[in-house]
Amino acid sequence: MACKLPGNTPVSGKSILRRCAVMLVSLLASFYLLHSLTQLGGSALRSPVSASVSASELVDASEAPLRRKRVLHRWVVGSVARQRFDGGGDAPGPQVRDAALGFPSAPGKLRPLGDGTKRLPQAIIVGVKKGGTRALLEFLRVHPDVRAAGAEPHFFDRFYDNGLAWYRDLMPKTLEGQITMEKTPSYFVTREAPARIYSMSRSTKLIVVVRDPVTRAISDYTQTLSKKPDIPSFESLTFKNRTTGLIDTSWSAIQIGIYAKHLDNWLQFFPMHQILFVSGERLISDPAGELGRVQDFLGLKRIITDKHFYFNETKGFPCLKKAEGSSKPHCLGKTKGRTHPNIDPEVVQRLRDFYRPFNMKFYQMTGRIFGWDD
Ligand SMILES: Nc1ncnc2c1ncn2[C@@H]1O[C@H](COP(=O)(O)OS(=O)(=O)O)[C@@H](OP(=O)(O)O)[C@H]1O
């Protein structure tokens, strides 16, 4: 390698050799440093992906930034945030995602990462599917003393074998005095759920959002239809035998709405005063009113009031003026508030007749007339 010195400065041969050696050493040192840095950065960013990425994920280069964001995300907030993304119909809005990532999307109640402790939930929204459970949780998390897992953990029905430590790890960190919450609507109809929740903590507060079982069934069917457009009609699924008019109570869309029967199961473990029933209908017509009851039940200061909501004409539902950790208005996503298909009025009437006695029993048990049979 030729060694030239800048300018025409007269120098001795020995001095040239010394300077050349110094330059060579520093050049080698720089190369080594650069190499180490790229190795470190490269492997750190790559290894979590290579461990979990599938071949199909690798083909689309346009996905790369998103994937990196996901990896970063996994590092920063772990499984809690991961859940926030995989909720299917319950996918959170961008502000919630940014908050989960620890990005300060807006001034609010975001605290530096690492604050607080992960705790098992003291209150759980246990049901019912299509009752309005997502709306309730999104509204509740506006409260500074409520922190909630984003997506549905399904611990007490699907993942119980994973153990309580696994479950706790899904929870957000909370500070002293804050309530940890989650919602999984399928718990309400899971036989084992009451005993399991009881064995976690007998003082767990339970919330059930209930809705007219007929519209709930149609809503449930609408959701299934959106995923599997080829399923039989609602009318044909409703009956075991259409001519005899025998209702198929084994169809989950019908079964879930027999609230009195499921509630019986919970009352074997929890006293009535530990369960709050929220009207899905009132949650739409008077969200602040229902949220007032929920805050009282949870022992929270009534912070969420009328001022937090506005009625969005396009959505046809109440929305938040400001979502948690954001200064922007926030409505629930497209999967909430779907248009239902028209159902044969005779079938609807038949279902109303079917549910009436169960509804009456439910009103009696809960001490609240929900008005589904007016
Ligand atoms: N504010 C607001 N915005 C949008 N949607 C609202 C709201 N409040 C209640 N609802 C009703 O919530 C229904 C979905 O209930 P869930 O969130 O419990 O569904 S799920 O079980 O989690 O899939 C959903 O049912 P569908 O109308 O059938 O889509 C809504 O009627």
**Region 295-319 average pLDDT:** 98
**Residue 239 C-alpha to ligand 1 middle, in angstroms?**
25
Residue 84 has pLDDT above 80, yes or no: no
67 marked as part of a ligand binding site: no
337 marked as part of a ligand binding site: yes
Residue 133 has pLDDT above 50, yes or no: yes
Token pair, residue 358, equals: 């169960």
Hey, whose CA ends up nearest to atom 26 of ligand 1? Answer: 337
The DSSP-derived string for 231-273 is SPPHHHHHEEETTTTEE-TTSHHHHTT-HHHHHHHHHTTS-GG
109 marked as part of a ligand binding site: no
d(CA 178, CA 122): 10
**Region 237-241 average pLDDT:** 96
Domains of the chain: 117-212+255-339 (3.40.50.300)
Residue 18 has pLDDT above 50, yes or no: yes
Predicted confidence (pLDDT) per residue in 28-44, tens digit: 555 454 444 333 333 22
Q: Please state the φ and ψ torsions of residue 111, each to the nearest 5 degrees.
A: -115, 160
Report whether residue 167 contacts ligand 1, using a CB cutoff of 6 Å: no
Report whether residue 90 contacts ligand 1, using a CB cutoff of 6 Å: yes
Report whether residue 372 contacts ligand 1, using a CB cutoff of 6 Å: no
Ligand 1 pocket test, candidate residues 86, 125, 129, 134, most atoms within 8 A of CB = 134
Residue 212 has pLDDT above 50, yes or no: yes
Hey, whose CA ends up nearest to atom 30 of ligand 1? Answer: 337
Ligand 1 pocket test, candidate residues 320, 336, 342, 343, most atoms within 8 A of CB = 336
Report whether residue 215 contacts ligand 1, using a CB cutoff of 6 Å: no
340 marked as part of a ligand binding site: yes
Specify the 3-state DSSP secondary structure of 87: coil
282 marked as part of a ligand binding site: no
112 confidence band (pLDDT: 50, 70, 90): low
Return the axis-axis angle of helices 345-366 and 213-227, rounded to nearest 10°.
Answer: 120
Report whether residue 320 contacts ligand 1, using a CB cutoff of 6 Å: no
State pTM to two decimals.
0.74
Alpha helices in the chain (DSSP H): 13-52, 55-59, 64-85, 94-101, 133-140, 164-169, 193-200, 213-227, 234-238, 252-255, 259-267, 280-285, 287-297, 345-366
**Region 122-136 average pLDDT:** 98
Mean pLDDT estimate for the chain: 79
In this prediction, the answer to ipTM > 0.95 reads yes
**Residue 228 C-alpha to ligand 1 middle, in angstroms?**
19
Q: Which is more confidently placed, 91 or 336? A: 336
**Residue 137 C-alpha to ligand 1 middle, in angstroms?**
11
Cβ(266)–Cβ(194) below 8 Å: yes
Residue 223 has pLDDT above 80, yes or no: yes
The DSSP-derived string for 101-137 is HT---SSSS---TT-SEE---SEEEEE-TTSSHHHHH
81 confidence band (pLDDT: 50, 70, 90): very low
Report whether residue 279 contacts ligand 1, using a CB cutoff of 6 Å: no
d(CA 210, CA 278): 6
Residue 101 has pLDDT above 90, yes or no: no
Report whether residue 128 contacts ligand 1, using a CB cutoff of 6 Å: no
Residue 26 has pLDDT above 70, yes or no: no
Question: What residues are labeled active site?
Answer: 130
